[in-house]
Amino acid sequence: MPRVSFTPHLGRHVDCPDETLPGTTVRQVLTAYFERHPRVRAYVLDEQGALRHHVVVFVGGVQARDRNQLSDPVAEDSDVYIMQALSGG
């Protein structure tokens, strides 16, 4: 099953341990993650379910492209990594 992990920066604000979860798209895998860790959802997605502006998702080291529907495919052995885009200040 796909493995989900997060930038350590997010762990400063909310508990977000690594998990192995079912799913064949970014949406499915993240939905499964948020079922286990509901507080993490609002840190990754906005209230309309889109990826937050400054959050990026990598699937197998490749940046996912569909920021609204999160339809990028996830393979059985993919690593899904959620990190923040870089910003200043």
Side-chain-facing half-sphere of 65: CA atoms under 13 Å: 1
- Of 17, 18, 16, 23, whose CA–CA distance to 1 is shortest? 23
- Of 48, 49, 53, 55, whose CA–CA distance to 16 is shortest? 55
For residue 63, the minimal CB distance to another protein (Å) is 15
For residue 86, the minimal CB distance to another protein (Å) is 9
The 17-56 contact track toward another protein, x by CB under 8 A, reads ----------------------x--xxx-xxx---x-xx-
Residues lying near another protein in the complex (CB under 8 A): 9-10, 13-14, 39, 42-44, 46-48, 52, 54-55, 84-85, 87, 89
